[in-house]
Every structure is written in structure tokens, then in C-alpha cells.
């Protein structure tokens, strides 16, 4: 799968996506603190602060002080224009992602089925995981659950998302790294949890996997 094409020119997609989420929340006109935004978007408070500063510096967001020493954020006309542009950009990206990911997930599950796989568990919950789940329905492979770094306890179709660290307790033949945006973070944490790389499968290139393999090879010499 050509992730470069899905990202546009480079790996800015995760950052621009979070910027879009922030612009969307701010556009609703509520008086939200950075902590409120952090909680709503499941983004670390420090990252929200960094994104807000960036949006303000670009003229997309303005800040006003309100009672109780709080601050309110508002979109500027330029910010509304940027929100529209990012929305269109990500809709295009998602259309491409859906088409290519659907094909590649079906190929992955077909190969696993032919190898005798009976069950899989997903690691990483985002739009890509939803595509993976829909693709899995075409195969006689049991869905054993889904785990995520940040979204534990939330719903994923008829299932509850589990904490990523609990994935070792799930009985499944393979772990599917199903997140596109957080794929390297998920893979790294799975390695830290002691999951063998051969048990993990993904349709997306994993930068951490490549660097980890090189380090292991170097240590073995």
C-alpha cells in the first residue's frame, strides 16, 4: 500500500488531522480550555498547547480572556477557510485510504486464512481499523477483540476497546496492527509488551519495525 500517496506529500497527515479536529471543536463556539480540548479529542495536554500555539501563529485562531482567568478560543475567517480546506483534503485521503485499504486488508486476511489462521485481534482503533473489521467479515476468521493506546473503554462496533497492554491475554493467532495514523506507536508498544514480531501483521509500512530489525541485526553481530 502506498502510504506516501495517502499522506499527500509526506507524514504531515497525523498533525493536520489533529489540527482539523481542534479547528472543528473551536468552531462550535464553546468556551473550552486546553484541558477540555485535550479530554474531548484524546490528545495529550502538552500537544494541545503546541497545536494551539501553531494555529494562533498562523492566524487561524484568536484567543480572548474570560472571567475566572480562563481563555476562550475562536476561529478567524482565515481559520474557517483552513478548516474547510483540511476537511476536503482529509475526505479525499479517506476515500483513497478506504479503497486501497479494503483491497489490502482482504488480501492480508485471505493469506492468513490460507495459512490456517482461526482468529485475529486488532491493535489500534481508528478509521483504518473499521475498514479492517468490515473486510474481515468476508472470511471465516474469528474477531477476538481490539485494543488501543488511548481509546480503551470506548465502543468499536459491538465491542469494547481494551487497553493495549491487555492484548497478551487475548487468545488469537495473529495481531493486526490496524491503525494507520498510530501504526508505529502501536507496534513499538507491542514490542515493549513482549509480542513477537512474527505474530504481528499489517498492510501499512512500519518505520519502527524497520529500525528495530536493524538494531537487532546489529546487536547479533
90 pLDDT more than 80:
no
* Residue from 19, 126, 157 nearest 83 by CA: 19
- Return the exposure string of 2-33: e unless at least 16 CB atoms fall within 10 Å of the residue's CB, then b: ebeebbeeeeebeebbbbbbbbeebeeeeebe
CB atoms < 10 A from the CB of 91, how many? 10
| The predicted structure's pLDDT at residue 4 | 40
Q: For position 93, what pLDDT does the model report?
A: 74
Confidence of residue 3 (pLDDT cuts 50, 70, 90): very low
Mean pLDDT value of segment 87-109: 86
Residue 140 has pLDDT above 80, yes or no: yes
What are the pLDDT digits (tens) for 160-218?
999 999 998 999 999 999 988 788 889 999 999 999 999 999 998 876 654 444 344 44
Would you say residue 88 has pLDDT above 60?
yes
Mean pLDDT of the region 99-106: 92
How far the first Cα of the chain sits from its last, in Å, is 32
Beta pairing, strands 155-156 & 174-177: unpaired
- Summarised one tens digit per residue, pLDDT across range 144-171 is 999 998 889 999 999 999 999 999 899 9
CATH class, 3-83 region: mainly alpha
116-216 CATH fold: Rossmann fold (3.40.50)
Cβ neighbourhood burial of 57 (10 Å; 0-12, 13-18, 19+): exposed
Residue 7 in this model has a pLDDT that exceeds 80: no
pLDDT tens-digit readout, 30-70: 777 888 888 877 778 888 889 999 999 999 999 887 766 56
Residue of 183, 208, 206, 187 whose CA lies nearest to 196: 187
What are the tens digits of pLDDT across the range 110-121?
999 999 999 999
Does the pTM exceed 0.85?
no
Domain with CATH 3.40.50.720 in the chain: 116-216
Amino acid at each position: 500500500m502506498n502510504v506516501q500517496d495517502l499522506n499527500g506529500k509526506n507524514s504531515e497527515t497525523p498533525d493536520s488531522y489533529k489540527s482539523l479536529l481542534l479547528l472543528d471543536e473551536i468552531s462550535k463556539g464553546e468556551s473550552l480550555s486546553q484541558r477540555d480540548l485535550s479530554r474531548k479529542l484524546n490528545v495529550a495536554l502538552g500537544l494541545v498547547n503546541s497545536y494551539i500555539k501553531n494555529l494562533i501563529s498562523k492566524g487561524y485562531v484568536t484567543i480572548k480572556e474570560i472571567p475566572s482567568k480562563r481563555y476562550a478560543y475562536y476561529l478567524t475567517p482565515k481559520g474557517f477557510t483552513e478548516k474547510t480546506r483540511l476537511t476536503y483534503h482529509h475526505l479525499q485521503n479517506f476515500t483513497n485510504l478506504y479503497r486501497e485499504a479494503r483491497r489490502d486488508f482482504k488480501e492480508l486476511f485471505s493469506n492468513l486464512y490460507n495459512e490456517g489462521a482461526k482468529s485475529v485481534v486488532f491493535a489500534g482503533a481508528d478509521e483504518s481499523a473499521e475498514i479492517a473489521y468490515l473486510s474481515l467479515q468476508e472470511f471465516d476468521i474469528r474477531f477476538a477483540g481490539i485494543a488501543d493506546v488511548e481509546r480503551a473503554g470506548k465502543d468499536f462496533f459491538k465491542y469494547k476497546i481494551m487497553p493495549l497492554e491487555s492484548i497478551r491475554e487475548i487468545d488469537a493467532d495473529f495481531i493486526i496492527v490496524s491503525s494507520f495514523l498510530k501504526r508505529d506507536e502501536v507496534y513499538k508498544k507491542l514490542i515493549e509488551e513482549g509480542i513477537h514480531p512474527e505474530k504481528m501483521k499489517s498492510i501499512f509500512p512500519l518505520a519502527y519495525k524497520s529500525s528495530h530489525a536493524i538494531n537487532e541485526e546489529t546487536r547479533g553481530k
